[in-house]
Amino acid sequence: MRKIQGLILGMSIAAWGCAAGSGGEGGAGAQDTSSSSTGGSGGDGNVGSTTSTGGMGGAGGMGGAGGGAVCGDGLLDPGEECDDANANPADRCDGCMVKCLPDEQEWTGNHHCYAEFTAQKTNYANALQACAANGGVLVSLTSQGEQDFVYGTVIDKTLLLPRWIGLTDINTEGAFAWESGEPFMYTHWETGQPDDYNASEDCVEMYHVTGEWNDDNCTYEYHYVCEYTPAGL
């Protein structure tokens, strides 16, 4: 009886392997496992080889050996920084590791990518739109660690202009909100700010000199920093 159950289990794994698309290889793997007790790991190997291509196949196999983690299954498994179920590095997830694009920098605190744009100066609305057009958001600074990384590593302090960050109270005076939609908890205001000077300041900048924040006139033209979330994170 036990033997028959094992056979049926083996057959169903074999059928699943074929359906997943790896043809002869899937069948052979399942046949081996039907006579032993390690059907599970055989199945993992099949998933790794069928859901990824080329170099990623190797990563999938390694994940299987580690206890079921499969790169390319769209699930964030232990040991994976991201898993977007594809092998397209343009979305900043490459082989289940975050890989920021050239000219971007990764903060290990959240594995997001950051870039500042200094070729031109622009008002807040245009900075907001430019980040979105690149698949990102005008930067949110929601912890001391993120603030320190952006000010210390991303900002070129030889360029003497403030940077727009994605924080505004344009909808309700005094109620600041991140463009990213994250809760507004951490702050890094300069002393005396925000002051809504002349009742005309609804957009927030980071001072290039100190890294502290100031609400300013949204029509002023500054540099800006974008933040990107890699796919499958």
Interface residues with Ca ion (CB under 5 A) are 73, 75, 77, 83, 140, 169, 193, 195-197, 201-202, 214-215, 227
What is the radius of gyration, based on Cα positions, of the chain?
A: 25
> Smaller CB distance to Ca ion: residue 14 or 112?
112
> Smaller CB distance to Ca ion: residue 49 or 193?
193
Nearest to residue 164, comparing CAs of 117, 103, 105, 196? 117
For residue 25, CA distances in Å to 47, 87, 130 come to 11, 21, 47
> Smaller CB distance to Ca ion: residue 10 or 194?
194
> Smaller CB distance to Ca ion: residue 28 or 125?
125
Do 78 and 101 meet the contact criterion of CB atoms below 8 Å apart? Answer: no
- Please tell me what DSSP assigns to residue 205: E
| Nearest distance in Å: CB 180, Ca ion | 6
| Nearest distance in Å: CB 52, Ca ion | 10
| Nearest distance in Å: CB 216, Ca ion | 6
| Nearest distance in Å: CB 155, Ca ion | 15
User: Amino acid letter at 36?
Assistant: S
> Smaller CB distance to Ca ion: residue 14 or 226?
226
Query: What is the rounded CA–CA span in Å between residue 137 and residue 145?
Result: 18
Residue 6, SS3 per DSSP: helix
| Nearest distance in Å: CB 223, Ca ion | 17
For residue 53, CA distances in Å to 25, 50, 64, 72, 74 come to 15, 8, 16, 9, 14
Residue 215, SS3 per DSSP: strand
